[in-house]
Amino acid sequence: MSGEHNRSMNRRTILKAAGGAGAALGLGGIVSATPGREPGPKEDEILVGVADDTALASVRSTVTTAVPDDASIVHENETLEYVAVRLADDEPRAMESTIERLERQPGVEYAEPNVTRYPLERPNDPGFDQQYAPQQVRADQAWNTEVGSMDVTIAVIDQGVQYDHDDLADRFQGGNGYDFVDRDGDPYPAGASENHGTHVSGCAAATTGNGAGTAGISNCRLISGRALGNGGGSMGDIADAIQWAADQGADIINMSLGGAGPSQTGRRAINYAFQNGALPIAAAGNDGGSVSYPAAYQNCVAVSAIDENENLASFSNRGPEINVAAPGVDVLAPVPFGEYETMSGTSMACPVASGVAALGKSANPNLSPQQLWNLLEQTAVDIGLPPRYQGAGRVDALNIVGGDGGGGDPGDCGEERETASADGELSGGWWGDSDTYSYSLRTSNPCEATVSISGPSNADFDLYLTLDGREPTTSDYDEASRNQGSQESITVDLTGNEELGLLVDAYSGSGSYTIQLEELGK
């Protein structure tokens, strides 16, 4: 083991000395960090978002004049339109007053702390010496139809990945990735203690059928965005990695990480990925509480963890944001260097779900991120848990490749169509002005329904939807659309539900709006 470790570390050292010249993947719109900027958590930094109608250059000068003399801009991302400002004094009161001052500046949409996210893992049982996860999601049966395509890419945003591990090397072709911690072209782990990213990659795509090690869910391509160290990673580094992954053409972005509250920079990154061809999938969290971020963002699939008996893991977070469940207790997968271990956590459930989604994308290469999301939920298996525990159910590989009632484009519902509309008006925002509606399905065999809202440009209206007819609230709903502005839309798969419940909430602004409902039948 020590010989393999030394050889691997030498490889990383050589690549770093060469400036990552062997890396085949570009950085897109990311501006390199200021030299000397420390990797990992950055608790002394503020992320400042640029408003849509403002140039980053003009905000740069505005920010410079608004922060203390000993503060400085240390990083910029032109694509996601934010800058990172480092303060000499990270005392909470100084941080709060600087954020308040920045938020009052013209051209600044938001200012927020550069919070830290952490790998989401749990202690494991070292006596558990065989896999069950692929069998539980029926991947072994799905492989008769589809084992996974190298044309489908899973980006792993995590700690470094040992991309030359015997069970992973075949999955890394055409470039290994990028290191957003050290800002170089080699996303290798810094040492054996950085085992999380390698294990996560193995859960999703350890090479199946190579006569060695373990079997991942899919034989799809992997790329690594190293955004976490042993102490976690900053929101800025993670956002950069998410944007980079989408720019590299990733089909699925696996994020087995979380912590802290919502971040507007993180939300921008998730929305950017979703709108540019990638499906973000994230771990729900491991403290048994509400769903953590980034999993709780609107355009991100949230995955809870179940055990071998398909009970919700005691540590798994739960809530209305949960979309699917996957095995996450005592999951066996590779770790550095050439070893294998069992680990537990929604961190393990997340890449199992990503691997199943990758099989679905391999079998249906033309699916958009939303269609792939729909298919992942549509083919999930109800294991008898409440929706806030399992979402649509346990992910199922055989179903998603079309081997047992799944597969195909979920948008092809048939010719039967019903439409309806309603007009309303909301005034105010933060005090909670809202309207509610219900809609009884009219097609003989419902397949999907789309709810859209169109309102004044200066308002921010949110949609909340239930699938059983109950009146939604902003904390009790099945689906929601909460992007900025008042042009919102939700599309949901249906399996014979009798009625939809709808809440239109004025987050800010006021004015008249129109709701459109379109229902498709099979």
Domain endpoint, select from 352, 369, 400: 400
Domain end point (choices 340, 369, 400): 400
What pLDDT was estimated at residue 509? 80
Instruction: Name the amino acid, one letter, at 411.
Output: G
User: Which residues does the annotation mark as catalytic?
Assistant: 158, 196, 347
Contact (Cβ atoms closer than 8 angstroms) between residue 196 and residue 119? yes
pLDDT score, position 10: 39
Q: What average pLDDT score do residues 83-108 get?
A: 88
pLDDT digits (tens, 9 = 90+) for 159-198: 999 999 999 999 999 999 999 999 999 999 988 889 999 9
pLDDT of 20: 34
Is residue 138 located within the same domain as residue 76? Answer: no
CA distance 293 to 285: 8
Residues 485 and 502 reside in one and the same domain: yes
CATH number of residue 92's parent domain: 3.30.70.60
Q: Kindly state whether residues 175 and 276 are assigned to the same domain.
A: yes
> Which among 3, 334, 15, 7 has a CA at the least distance from the CA of 187?
15
pTM exceeds cut of 0.85 = no
pLDDT of 237 above 80: yes
- How many helices (H) and strands (E) in the chain? 12, 24
Top pLDDT among 425 and 325 is at 325
- Provide the domain limits for residue 450: 417-521
> Within 13 Å of residue 39, how many CA atoms lie on the same side as its CB?
16
Mean per-residue pLDDT of the chain: 85
Indicate the range of 79-93, 115-129, 454-468 predicted with least confidence: 115-129
Of 82-96, 274-288, 363-377, give the lowest mean pLDDT range: 82-96
At residue 14, the pLDDT reads: 32
Number of domains in the chain: 3
Mean pLDDT of 68-73: 87
B/e letters for 139-177, b = 16+ CB within 10 Å, e = fewer, are bbbbbebbbbbeebbbbbbbbbbbbbbbbbebbbeebbb
Buried b vs exposed e over 295-328: b needs ≥16 C-beta within 10 Å?
bbbbbbbbbbbbbeebebbebbbbbbbbbbbbbb
Helix, strand, coil proportions of the chain in percent (round to 5)? 25, 30, 50
Where does the pLDDT of residue 438 fall: very low under 50, low under 70, confident under 90, or very high at 90 and above? confident
Calpha distance 177→221 (Å, rounded)? 12
Predicted confidence at residue 33, as pLDDT, reads 45
DSSP state, residue 130 = S
Asked which of 19-23, 65-69, 295-299 is least confident by mean pLDDT, the reply is: 19-23
Q: Which pLDDT score, from 0 to 100, does residue 77 have?
A: 93
Does residue 384 lie within any of the structural domains?
yes
**Contacts of 122-125 spanning 24+ positions with Cβ under 8 A:** 122/286, 122/315, 122/343, 122/344, 122/345, 123/344, 124/330, 124/341, 124/342, 124/343, 124/344, 125/330, 125/342, 125/344
Give the end of a domain, one of 60, 78, 113.
113
Lowest mean pLDDT segment, chosen from 289-298, 330-339, 373-382, 501-510: 501-510
Same-domain check for residues 144 and 222:
yes
Tokens 């912590």 label which residue? 259
Containing 237, the helix (H) or strand (E) segment is helix 235-247
Same-domain check for residues 241 and 95? no
Is the pLDDT reported for residue 36 higher than 60?
A: no
What was the pLDDT predicted at 65? Answer: 86
Query: In terms of pLDDT, which residue wins out, 431 or 480?
Result: 480
Both 71 and 200 in a single domain? no
> Would you say the C-alpha torsion 381, 304, 280, 460 has a positive or negative sign?
positive
Q: Distance between CA atoms of 485 and 522, rounded to whole angstroms? A: 33
Please determine, for residue 519, whether its predicted confidence score (pLDDT) is greater than 60.
Answer: yes
Mean pLDDT of 67-96: 88
Q: Do residues 227 and 357 share a domain?
A: yes
Q: Are residues 240 and 375 in the same domain?
A: yes
343 and 492 part of one domain: no
